[in-house]
Amino acid sequence: MRKFGAAVAALTVALVVVGWFNRPATSTEWAAWVQTLGVLAAILWALRLQALASKQSLRQAGQVAAIFATNMHWVFRELNDACGKRSWPDYMVNRRILDEILAQGREVTLQLLDGRSLAMVSSLRAIAVEALEMTSPHTEGGNWSHLQLYFDKRLPSIAAWLSATGHPPESSGPTDYVGLRTSFGQLGGR
């Protein structure tokens, strides 16, 4: 914004200097000067609006990335708990939620992210894909302790990414998925 202000100030000084030495004499020259000033003001205003829109897009992309990371942390905690309790319904619901969260993470526009946020989203996408691949063959009678250990090892990495980007993990979940659990209970027959 300072560069923009400096450019506007320099342009104003240049116009004043030109206007001082080359004063308009006729009404046509005055009209040309007024029109020129109007066009320049419109161009500067458009540039300012573009800069503001760009900053807002960057801020929104960062917020979506933080929400993605927070949701990843939450669902990994839930999957870890489900594996610890050996709860098949909770496990299946949270695995579906993980799939939805990965879809959310794929919607983050990487071109709008900067260093840490970009690295965080890329890393968390890879972790989510790995988790989905790891959990897809799991059955109700499968190796629960192996999966719990897997989720337990990934939670500190996700929490570290959140902290590094200025969004420390929260203790509660981002969304209430009670309705999804209820609907799964009806589908699962348990």
Residues 31-82 have pLDDT tens digits of 888 898 888 889 888 988 888 887 887 777 777 788 888 888 899 999 999 8
Shared-domain flag, residues 38 and 71: no
Q: Please give the residue range of the domain that contains residue 147.
A: 57-188
In angstroms, how far apart are the furthest CA atoms of the chain? 93
Do 74 and 122 meet the contact criterion of CB atoms below 8 Å apart? no
Please give the angle made by the CA atoms of 108, 114 and 120, to the nearest 5 degrees.
60
CA distances 122 to 58, 131, 141, Å, are: 17, 14, 33
Select from 35, 50, 65 the last residue of a domain. Answer: 50
Shared-domain flag, residues 89 and 43: no
Shared-domain flag, residues 101 and 179: yes
Q: What pLDDT is stored for residue 185 in this prediction?
A: 43
Shared-domain flag, residues 70 and 163: yes
Shared-domain flag, residues 34 and 69: no
How many structural domains does the chain have?
A: 2
* Predicted confidence band of residue 1 (pLDDT cuts 50, 70, 90): low
Shared-domain flag, residues 45 and 70: no
Mean pLDDT over 145-165 rounds to 84
Shared-domain flag, residues 170 and 98: yes
Interatomic CA distance for residues 171 and 167, integer angstroms:
12
Shared-domain flag, residues 103 and 184: yes
- pLDDT > 60? residue 94: yes
Shared-domain flag, residues 130 and 46: no
- pLDDT > 50? residue 84: yes
Q: What pLDDT is stored for residue 78 in this prediction?
A: 92
Mean pLDDT over 115-124 rounds to 80
- pLDDT > 70? residue 161: yes
Shared-domain flag, residues 104 and 70: yes
Spell out a b/e string for 60-73, using b for 16 or more CB atoms within 10 Å of the CB, else e: ebbebbbbbbbbbb
Average pLDDT for the chain: 79
pLDDT digits (tens, 9 = 90+) for 2-16: 777 787 788 788 878
Q: What pLDDT is stored for residue 170 in this prediction?
A: 62
Shared-domain flag, residues 184 and 160: yes
Shared-domain flag, residues 77 and 168: yes
Mean pLDDT is lowest, of 10-24, 154-168, 173-187, for 173-187
pLDDT digits (tens, 9 = 90+) for 23-35: 888 889 888 888 9
